[in-house]
Amino acid sequence: MGCVLSTPDYTGENKRKTRNVGEIVVFVPGLRIPKAMDFSVQLGDGFSKSLVDRLSALRTRIVVMTTEEGLVRSPKSRKATTRHGGGSAMADLHQALEDYLPVLLGLAQNKETCMGNCWYEVISVLHLMAMLSLWQANLLLLPQTTSDNYHSKVSEESRRASVDIFLKAAGYLDFAVQNVLPQFPTQLRKDLPLDLAEGVLRALCQQALSQGVDIQLGMAIDSAKATTAVKRRLACELVTYWHQAQQSITSIPLAKEWGEKHKLFVTWKYIESKVAAYYYHGLILEEGNGERSHAMAAASLQAADEFLRESKKACEAFNEAPPFSRSPPVWGTIKYLMEKLPKDASSNVKEKDPHSQERAPALPEFALSLKPDEYRFPPVDPSWNNELQGSSLASTR
């Protein structure tokens, strides 16, 4: 088997060149464009014609859908298609991948015929399923302009649905790291494209979990029942998740464009997460007694304000990196902080002793609450039972 749904690196080869990817809430590092392949040539006479034809038909369906059914259109047309067509193109492609995988697994698990690149095909399918999920979440979280053409809004239903999608995407990626990468011989694993490297897959998994927590934090901010302590906990968890994502991806020598843009996205969101964490930590400290507690609160709010300014610069750097992008109108957690933080930080700085050298206190650490969905391979397609039985009969003659 040859390269199927994968690309040699992050430079964009086998990915449709895009100068502008439109509005981004959730970073998706490009969809893999499958290469055409004839299984009859790759597999020869080792399997029945019916099985080979079925593998080819299922795979050809994926190739056609990714290249002809609107999944590589411009960002504007993708957005319109999904909003008005219910995301049917993505749902159909996801179903095509789920139909293909059980048949493909029979080939990958056939020790007599499978080479490492069979698992290359499997991990590429899982990667594409995860990217489709992240793409779907991005479209759900693009704010809708209300009838007065002024306020941008993301419905609570869309936000709740996006959390489930983030966990599903994380499940695909975590499974790929834990269960598929170990199937590769050591050298072949080293030779994988950089966007299938373990660090990148882990970073994407942690990104999905991070963005799920971010949505939960935004809903907590909107809830009258959520305490400041709950909001601080979620904000501090968010910092930990993004820090893990940054650690996973920093050591990977990703190429320019998609790879560099991915790193910039993680950097931006890591900085942005500290805004909320230091803000809510400052509010908690402010409730304490004594001058030291109030001084630490003021230092924490000042740090949050500084990270807010730094995050705006990081956002600009991300959007200006090719392929160019833009941020949608602000909403959720960051909108709330942009409105509240400058005022709160300013009032605390005025009350602070001008001679105080209090540094921002360390953030508390909490156990992480979100975990990837548990994903398992589907059962191998029953057609392989007939194939193996036929092989056994042939070998006894």
pLDDT digits (tens, 9 = 90+) for 147-198: 665 667 899 999 999 999 999 999 999 999 999 999 988 888 888 888 899 9
The answer to whether 156 and 131 are in contact (CB under 8 A) is no
Q: How far is Cα 37 from Cα 41, in angstroms, rounded to an integer?
A: 8
User: What is the predicted pLDDT for the residue at 237?
Assistant: 98
pLDDT top residue among 70 and 135: 135
pLDDT confidence tier of residue 199, bands split at 50, 70 and 90: very high
pLDDT at 18: 61
Report phi then psi at 208, rounded to 5: -60, -45
**What pLDDT sits at residue 19?**
72
Segment 227-235 mean pLDDT: 98
Residue among 180, 174, 168, 107 at smallest CA distance from 137: 168
CA-only gyration radius of the chain, Å: 24
The structure tokens listed for 372 are 């990837």
Query: CA–CA separation, 244 vs 267, rounded Å?
Result: 11
**Selection from 83, 76, 93, 97 nearest residue 23 by Cα:** 76
Least confident span in 129-138, 215-224, 343-352: 343-352
94 beta partners: none
User: Quick check: 27 and 262 in contact, CB under 8 A?
Assistant: yes
Residue 274: is its pLDDT beyond 90? yes
Q: Within 13 A of 52's CA, how many CA atoms are on the CB side?
A: 14
Q: How far is residue 240's CA from residue 345's CA, in Å, rounded to a whole number? A: 24
Q: Distance between CA atoms of 123 and 201, rounded to whole angstroms? A: 10
> Which range has the worst mean pLDDT, 73-82, 110-119, 264-273?
73-82
b/e 265-293 (16+ beta carbons within 10 angstroms → b): bbbbbbbbbbbbbbbbbbbbbbeeeeeee
Tell me how far apart the alpha carbons of residues 270 and 198 are, in angstroms, rounded to a whole number: 20
9/263: higher pLDDT: 263
Which two three-digit tokens encode residue 390? 């036929």
Most confident of 37-51, 268-282, 381-395: 268-282
What mean pLDDT is reported for the chain?
Answer: 84
349's tokens: 């700085």
Percentage of residues of the chain with pLDDT beyond 90: 55
Please tell me the predicted confidence (pLDDT) of residue 151.
60
Q: What letter represents residue 189's amino acid?
A: R
Handedness of CA 111, 117, 123, 129 (dihedral sign): negative
Contact between 247 and 270 (Cβ < 8 Å)? no
